[in-house]
């Protein structure tokens, strides 16, 4: 259907759609970190490990692509390339080591 204004989307039951909506910000976050992200129905896998919506808290600082970062006169290149820290919920039964993601 390339070149037309029509497209095909998967349709899921409402409960799965609700879970997917919770996972979409995580998908975007991990893709910005250049991770391999797969969303299967209502389950999110990052580099082969399943991630639950409540396991990860996305930092408030927006991610910027490395190619868009240019150090200003008041910042060194080392300071401008720092990534925000990934915070893991302590209530999760599956603890995630952010250094291995």
User: Which tens digits make up the pLDDT trace of 1-38?
Assistant: 678 888 777 788 999 999 999 999 999 999 999 999 99
pTM (2 decimals)? 0.52
29-43 per-position pLDDT tens digit:
999 999 999 999 999
Confidence of residue 85 (pLDDT cuts 50, 70, 90): low
Tokens 């401008």, residue? 80
Question: pLDDT per residue over 40-66, tens digit each?
Answer: 999 999 999 998 877 887 776 555 555
């Amino acid at each position: 259907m390339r070149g037309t204004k029509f497209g095909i989307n998967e349709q899921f039951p409402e409960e799965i759609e609700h879970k997917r909506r919770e996972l979409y910000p995580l998908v975007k976050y991990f893709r910005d970190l250049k991770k391999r992200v797969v969303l299967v129905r209502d389950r999110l896998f990052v580099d082969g490990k399943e991630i639950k919506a409540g396991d990860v808290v996305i930092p408030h600082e927006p991610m910027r692509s490395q190619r868009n970062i240019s150090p200003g006169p008041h910042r060194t290149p080392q300071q401008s390339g720092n990534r925000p820290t990934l915070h893991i919920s302590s209530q999760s039964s599956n603890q995630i080591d952010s250094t291995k993601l």
